[in-house]
Amino acid sequence: MSRVHVVQHGETLSKIADAYYGVMRLFTEIAAVNGIDPDYIEVGQELIIPDIEEAPIHVVTHGETLGSIAHFWYGDSSRYEDIASSNGLDDPDQIDVGQELLIPLSV
């Protein structure tokens, strides 16, 4: 069931996505559902917040670490432990190019 969010002063789509999903990078889902440019939202604008039923999957590319992946999705590299835990990784330093990682939702 989708919800409606009224944009407040100082909010960005990334902040809104973080509040609803715990994953700031899911701002793209909000933008797509609302047919808007994610860089242009206005105070008082009503946004549909879609339900996300499945956590996103990240495919590891060359040079990435769990910290860089956490920074990409959450804006916080220290959340690499969330990704490691959700994927049953005993050693967070051991990820492989092409490996698919579940990016857990936090909310």
CA 102 to chain centre: 11
What is the distance between the alpha carbons of residues 7 and 47, in angstroms, rounded to a whole number?
Answer: 7
Same domain? For 95 and 63 the reply is yes
Same domain? For 10 and 31 the reply is yes
Same domain? For 34 and 69 the reply is no
Give how many domains the chain has, as a whole number.
Answer: 2
Asked, for residue 92, whether it belongs to a domain, the answer is yes
Domain that holds residue 70: 57-102
Residue 98 pLDDT more than 90? yes
**Over the chain, what is the mean pLDDT?**
95
**Each residue's pLDDT tens digit, 41-85:** 999 999 999 999 889 999 999 999 999 999 999 999 999 999 999
With tokens 């990820």, the residue in question is 95
For position 71, which CATH number holds? Answer: 3.10.350.10
Asked, for residue 25, whether it belongs to a domain, the answer is yes
